[in-house]
Amino acid sequence: MNATGYAYGGQVPDWLAARAALAPHHPALVCGGERITFAELDRRANAVARRLAGRGIAPGGRVAVLLRNGTAMAELVHGAGRAGAVLVPLNTRLAPSEIAWQVADSRARLLIHDGATRGLVASMPAPVNAEVVDITIFNEGPEASASLREHIDLAAVHTIVYTSGTTGRPKGALLTYGNHWWSAVGSALNLGLHADDSWLAVLPLFHVGGLSILMRGAIYGMAVHIHEAFDPAAVNSAIDEGVTIVSAVATMLRRMLDQREGRPYPRTLRHVLLGGGPAPLPLLEECARLAVPVVQTYGLTETASQAATLAPADALRKLGSAGRPLLPTELRIERDGMPVRAGEPGEIVVRGPTVTPGYADRPEETAAALRDGWLHTGDLGYLDDEGYLYVLDRRGDLIISGGENVYPAEVEAVLLSHPAVADAGVAAQADERWGQVPVAYVVLSPGTPCTVEELLAYCRARLAGYKVPARCIVVPALPRNAAGKLMRQRLSELAAP
């Protein structure tokens, strides 16, 4: 091990251009009835680069985008870098003040929005230090002849993606071309790569889960089907029409199965990549019964998406596990900076070529998170004796009750294993005696009668006393962010007064 051991540098031909030369007529994007070939996407990416140059974006300049899923977003993802620009995709569900903060924090020179986000931009509290332009105007706007990049420097920054902010203030994670490249390669070495593959992007493209699909499309030479919003019937139709891989979160998959009413999926569906936390047992069992090829995964913005993935064969044998690290990635569990033994919980730390070089303009947070190449995720988990990862919790959600640690995800996993529970979240509630106590918020499965008392008895039979929820509240739905991640800090808003 040495200091240069983590410099995953090098230069490769522009992968979109390479795919356009190799298979110009192959579909690159399918979206809302439109089918865009690799040759056309390549041309549009060049046009984006010239338009950015036309608006004075110099190499290294940052461009914020606030766009719904669609081809315009994909064109910017592939085109910005050709002008040397760094893309800053913003969450379209942010509040106006949060958008203004992230635009300022990222030092973006340009903010591109669309019709759906125009109102958000107009409501920003103060004028931002960036040119604001509608995508339609941008696409009709001036072009400048820029010297477009022909090669991709793997060490160059492609994107700044703000972490979801379920804990603390958002930080902009730098993602290099190399991060995206190695993520695509690691995923292909795990999931395989077929000549007729196509990947459905129904997750937001401004999060790494959706963004990584666009990168893989160009690197693999694979069609990406973009859905503007999640519609279970539309996703099921796309699968029937031959989409081979779908990225989803558990709540989406639940709604897809409900809409389908037991009709099996075609064999062309190779993988449903399931992120966003542990999946409920009834859902996994139903998938096994219907031969839905679920692949559970653990990923972060800071690792350009998947860091560990559970193989379909292990889906039930390793229930609740996120699998083993992808080949180029190392993953271990640390406590006080030292690796712990199998079965012992600790902080999940990750090293390898998909790991971000750091947070934009945040040397202190970068130094805190990255030590000797290891990314300290702040997530808690353990490895079983076969090296399979179980994610226990986000560190910020840890409940400390009477000096004992309570990991909400562990309590949630027990609740989710009950056949009557469709969804569950656990959060801390202040308590005079214990400091904090866990409180459970559950969504019940329709048609499976169950009382709160039964659920608590179920927990008492399976958990140490201090982990059993002090209260259990039945709610119609849980708060999840755009990436499908449970926002535990908002659970208490659901509590009855």
- Residues in contact with a second copy by the rule CB under 8 A: 1, 4-13, 15, 18, 21-22, 151, 153, 185, 188-189, 192-195, 219-221, 311, 324-325, 327-330, 352-353, 386-387
Q: Which residues contact residue 358 at a Cβ distance below 8 angstroms, ignoring those fewer than 6 apart?
A: 173, 174, 365, 366, 369, 370
Query: Cβ 185 to a second copy, closest distance in Å?
Result: 5
Nearest residue (CB) to a second copy, 11 versus 136? 11
**DSSP state string for 272-312:** EEEESSPPPHHHHHHHHHTT--EEEEEEEGGGTEEEEE--G
Nearer to a second copy, 99 or 223 (CB): 223
Q: Closer CB to a second copy, residue 318 or residue 394?
A: 318
Closest CA relative to residue 180, chosen from 221, 202, 208? 208
How far apart are CB 275 and a second copy at their closest, in Å? Answer: 20
- Find the shortest distance in angstroms from Cβ 215 to a second copy: 13
- Token pair of 82, please? 């050709």
CB of 30 to a second copy, least distance (A): 20
Nearest CA among 183, 270, 268 for reference residue 219: 183
Distance (Å) of CA 443 to CA 187, 408, 419: 33, 16, 11
Contacts of 434 (CB under 8 A, 6+ apart): 401, 402, 466
**277 vs 358 by CB, closer to a second copy:** 358
Give the residues across from 414 on adjacent strands.
none
Burial of residue 158 (CB within 10 Å: 0-12, 13-18, 19+) is buried
Nearer to a second copy, 70 or 353 (CB): 353
Smallest distance from the beta carbon of 9 to a second copy, in angstroms?
5
Closest CB 174 distance from a second copy, rounded Å: 17
Least distance from C-beta 23 to a second copy, angstroms? Answer: 8
Place of tokens 């315009």: 72
> In this structure, what token pair is assigned to residue 385?
């004796």
Nearer to a second copy, 193 or 456 (CB): 193
User: Looking at 342-373, which runs of residues are DSSP E strands?
Assistant: 346-351, 358-359, 370-371
Question: Measured between alpha carbons, how far is residue 455 from residues 134, 314, 421, 459, 474 in Å?
Answer: 51, 28, 9, 6, 11
Residue type, 120: L
Report the residue number, 194 or 335, with the smaller CB distance to a second copy.
194
Q: How far is the CB of 339 from a second copy (least distance, A)?
A: 13
How many CB atoms are closer than 10 A to CB 215? Answer: 26
Strand 11-13 and strand 151-153: the pairing is: antiparallel
Are 179 and 153 within 8 A, CB to CB?
Answer: no
Question: In this complex, which beta carbon is closest to a second copy, that of residue 385 or of residue 453?
Answer: 385
DSSP result, 246-274: EEEEHHHHHHHHHHHTTPPPPTT--EEEE
Give the residue with the Cβ less far from a second copy, 5 or 396.
5
Distance from C-alpha of 173 to C-alpha of 358, rounded to nearest angstrom: 6
* Min dist. Cβ of residue 184 to a second copy (A): 9
Kindly give the interhelix angle for 250-260 and 281-289, rounded to the nearest 10 degrees.
50
The nearer residue to a second copy, 5 or 119, going by C-beta atoms, is 5
Nearer to a second copy, 194 or 371 (CB): 194
Of 93 and 194, which CB lies nearer to a second copy in the complex structure?
194
CB 193 to a second copy: min, Å? 5
Strand, helix or coil for residue 57: coil
For the chain, give the number of residues: 497
d(CA 376, CA 215): 25
In the complex, minimum distance from the CB of residue 151 to a second copy, in angstroms, rounded to a whole number: 7
Indicate the residue among 241 and 330 with the shorter CB distance to a second copy: 330
Rounded to a whole number of angstroms, the minimum distance from the CB of residue 326 to a second copy is: 9
CB of 323 to a second copy, least distance (A): 9
- Taking CA atoms, 82 is separated from 55, 71, 94, 365, in Å, by 14, 17, 28, 29
Q: Find all residues with CB under 8 Å of 385, minimum gap 6, and list them.
A: 342, 343
